Amino acid sequence: MSNFSSVMREIISTIVTFVVVFVLVWLLRLYVVEPFQVDGRSMDNTLQDGERLVMLKLADIERFDVVVVPPPNAPEKLYVKRVIGMPGDTIEFRDDMLILNGQPLEEPYLAEMQAQVEGNFTYDMTLEERTGVTQVPEGQIFVMGDNRRNSTDGRSFGFINLEDVRGEADFIHWPLSEFGLLTKYELNADGTAIVER
């Protein structure tokens, strides 16, 4: 009887361990991290079609982060884009230059793609022309793809609610040749340049 009892305890212990691990992994995926696969070329050359990422769901979203979002005109889809404008920002593009809150800024994450094209890589526009307002509204962000000539983004669908952001793309895990953290960018201390952080 004690041998049977010992075997049963072992079986129950194994089942409980599997259940606990399953619940922990499920909660981790539900609230902390989630895998995501890039579909399309709108983030070339930062991200390539077919690359697999891990997105961090609890991240504080900041300007120039790469995020996974549902577009307002197709909420069942998920797009990966770069945050260009935070609440209160004014945005304009003129002569291939981002003008953020009146400050002209070069976008270092676009340099490789810009070098491959003739003429402006990002066509001239103002936020007001595209959205009807001069500033990014409170609680919303303005996103764009890094492949500016081939991206469906805020220029066509407008703003994204911050609460709808699914996560920040942080880590490429496939292909192995690209394995690692994504480079992050921010404004320097005086707001005159976009730099790696």
> Which 3-state string (H, E, C) describes 6-19?
HHHHHHHHHHHHHH
Positions marked catalytic: 42, 81
DSSP assignment of 63-77 equals TT-EEEE--TT-TTS
Q: Which two tokens stand for residue 6?
A: 């010992």
CA-based end-to-end distance of the chain = 64
Secondary structure (DSSP) of 48-114: -TT-EEEEETTPPP-TT-EEEE--TT-TTS-EEEEEEE-TT--EEEETTEEEETTEEE--GGGHHHH
Cis preceding linkage at 72, omega within 30: no
Given a contact cutoff of 8 angstroms between Cβ atoms, the answer to whether 159 and 137 are in contact is: yes
